[in-house]
Amino acid sequence: MSTVAITGAARGIGEAIARALAARGHTLLLGDLDDSVVELAASLGGVGSVLDVTDQASYEAWLALVPQVDVLVNNAGVMWVGPFDEEPTAVAERQFAVNVHGVVRGTRLVLPAMRARRSGLIVTVASAASVLAPAGEATYAATKHAVHGWMTAVRQELVGSGVELALVMPTVVETELAAGTSSGGVPRLSPEDVATAVVAVLDKPRFETFVPARVSVLLRLLSLLPQGGKDAMYRRLVPDQVRSADPAARAAYEARRLGQEAVSRTAGCQPRSSASRGVPRS
């Protein structure tokens, strides 16, 4: 069994991955900004500590808690939702710091030892927004596209090294991060659905896994369509968070993860459109 390090493991998808891997006998190193991760790790027989993936010293100290990391799961992430021109610059930069530079930092830190051992797996929880780009998630989608591009290049560099990279790309999942958002024409996933996909990747590594798998069919279809057809497909299946998300329902999450500045535009607001009220929300 392997030692698996999971970032952003205190709740949501990270917690579900931790529980699924503990049940399969893996040894866990869990990290999160939230110190509840310490108790969670102890309850699963692993080690946990506060981790800020945007801080090099914090990341190094966290990794030093175990003798070896066989699998790194880059899971920590943050999301702001709203019209691109209302997004404060600091909020956009924070998303890049966590979602992109946090992933790059962790990968660079664990890679030398994995390369030396000629074995290891780095799983990144990216997003369907790595390949699609919902309105109202411009910066978030940019960060997830960036991670996809970065991993695609690094994977080429690692061919023959014994180290595998994997991207797990879910649609909307029922967690705090997705509070008040729409899932468009696709049913919401549970964090356990994503954990099941991560377990499958540990059993049999593959570079790209969409959750649900049929997203890859949609992508193939989109690539064949002219722009008008793509636009029609987007309207049917990809959520428009400018029209549909509920800023009031997101306020607590955005204040906690992205600072009060992230919500000053939204506090007390109602959803921008009532036309989309039939769309499922968290």
The residues assigned a catalytic role are 140
Q: Does residue 195 bind ligand NAD (CB under 6 A)?
A: no
Q: Does residue 11 bind ligand NAD (CB under 6 A)?
A: yes
Q: Does residue 78 bind ligand NAD (CB under 6 A)?
A: yes
Name the segment binding ligand NAD (CB under 6 A); options: 22-30, 38-46, 71-79, 150-158: 71-79
CA–CA separation, 178 vs 239, rounded Å?
A: 12
Query: Residues 34, 86, 193, 261: which binds ligand NAD (CB under 6 A)?
Result: 34
Q: Does residue 8 bind ligand NAD (CB under 6 A)?
A: yes
Q: What is the dihedral of CA 254, 82, 277, 183, to 10 degrees?
A: -80
Q: DSSP letters along 49-112, please? A: EE--TT-HHHHHHHHTTSS--SEEEE-------S-GGGS-HHHHHHHHIIIIIHHHHHHHHHHH
Q: Does residue 51 bind ligand NAD (CB under 6 A)?
A: yes
H helices, E strands: number in the chain: 11, 7
Whole-number Cα distances in Å, 143 to 137, 148, 237? 10, 9, 21
Binding residues for ligand NAD restricted to 232-271, rule: CB under 6 A: 257
Rank residues 137 and 160 by Cβ distance to ligand NAD and give the closer one. 137
Q: Does residue 163 bind ligand NAD (CB under 6 A)?
A: no
Query: Residues 19, 38, 49, 54: which binds ligand NAD (CB under 6 A)?
Result: 54
* Six-digit token string for 153: 């290049």
The count of chain residues that interact with ligand NAD, using the rule CB under 6 A, is 31
Burial 212-236 (b: 16+ CB within 10 A, else e): beebeebeeebeeeeeeeeeebbee
Neighbours of 109 (CB within 10 A): 17
Q: Does residue 172 bind ligand NAD (CB under 6 A)?
A: yes
Name the segment binding ligand NAD (CB under 6 A); options: 7-15, 235-243, 262-270, 272-280: 7-15
* Six-digit token string for 213: 């798998």
Which pairs with CB-CB distance under 8 Å and at least 24 residues apart come from 34-40?
Answer: 34/10, 36/10, 36/11, 37/9, 37/10, 40/9, 40/10, 40/15
Q: Are 268 and 248 in contact (CB under 8 A)?
A: yes
Q: Does residue 76 bind ligand NAD (CB under 6 A)?
A: yes
Name the segment binding ligand NAD (CB under 6 A); options: 8-16, 115-123, 148-156, 244-252: 8-16
Q: Does residue 13 bind ligand NAD (CB under 6 A)?
A: yes
Q: Does residue 175 bind ligand NAD (CB under 6 A)?
A: yes
Query: Residues 110, 177, 186, 215: which binds ligand NAD (CB under 6 A)?
Result: 177
Least distance to ligand NAD from the beta carbon of 117, Å? 26
Residues near ligand NAD (CB under 6 A):
7-8, 10-14, 32-34, 51-54, 75-79, 98, 102, 125, 127, 170, 172-173, 175-178, 257
